[in-house]
Amino acid sequence: MRLAGKVAVVTGAAGGIGTACARRFAAEGARVVCVDVAEAVEATAAELAAGGAEVAAVRADLSTRAGNDEAVRTAVERFGGLDVFHANAARQRIGRAEATGVEDWEAMEATNLRGVFFGAQAALPALRARGGGAILITASVLGIVGDADLPAYGAMKGGVRALARSLAAAHGPENIRVNTICPGDVDTPMVRDYFAFQPDPEAALRAVTDRYPLRRFAAPEDVAAAAAFLASDDAAYITGTDLIVDGGLLAQVY
């Protein structure tokens, strides 16, 4: 129960990594605000509530400052404050640079970069009021290395890594820690869409899986375990860094 007494906001909680993180935070004792633009966020909250967790659901557009403000306001009004803000919501458009249109770029940038910045802006006053806390950002190994079919997505994930470092430097004196989690491939609908885009999806899946020393993709729960650690007091002296959750992918050259 490493998060007992803490209040956490998890964005992108309608499925995938976000749902797994909301579940893990609740299991660790946190009161959780699940946020997503998708209706399925209500089902996530209902599941947690049925298990005895204190939880709230917020339907909000996380590409806007207003949507992020609503998420934080719900945490403060329902549960008395905010200790953890996990900016996890993301969009993906698959395509090489010349095939990425302005609308594709803007859709991704709005949630993946600008929305994360708005989330931090919204969360900081509430965290400061509690005497400190943690901001977690779901980045990606694609913010460190490249993927030919995801140049825009990778650029934005690199951007949030830089953002996290700036926030950590600025707000460390207020006991506000800021870190990113950088997963490799995770078994989520977003990753399945990527492989469906390939000319031979099954061959591409086998080839990529074989590049992982652990010979499997992450489960969302693997990422949630890392998030729970960074959100907890066990990580009290960790800020401004990336926790890479990639099954050893970046540990080798070929």
Active site residue 153: yes
Give the residue-averaged pLDDT of 8-26.
Answer: 97
> 48-66: per-residue pLDDT in tens?
999 999 999 999 999 999 9
What lies within 8 Å, CB to CB, of 52 at 6+ separation is none
CB-count exposure of residue 1 (10 Å: 0-12, 13-18, 19+): exposed
> 93-121: per-residue pLDDT in tens?
989 999 999 999 999 999 999 999 999 99
Give the model's pLDDT for residue 124: 98
Distance of CA 18 to the CA centre of its chain: 7
The beta-strand segments (E) located in 66-217 are 84-87, 133-138, 176-183
Helix (H, G, I), strand (E, B) or coil at 228: helix
The beta-strand segments (E) located in 28-165 are 31-36, 55-59, 84-87, 133-138
**Domains in the chain with CATH codes:** 7-186+219-242 (3.40.50.720)
Give the model's pLDDT for residue 68: 98
Which is catalytic among the residues 153, 194, 212, 254? 153
Residue appearing with tokens 């970046």: 250
> 136-185: per-residue pLDDT in tens?
999 999 999 999 999 999 999 999 999 999 999 999 999 999 999 999 99
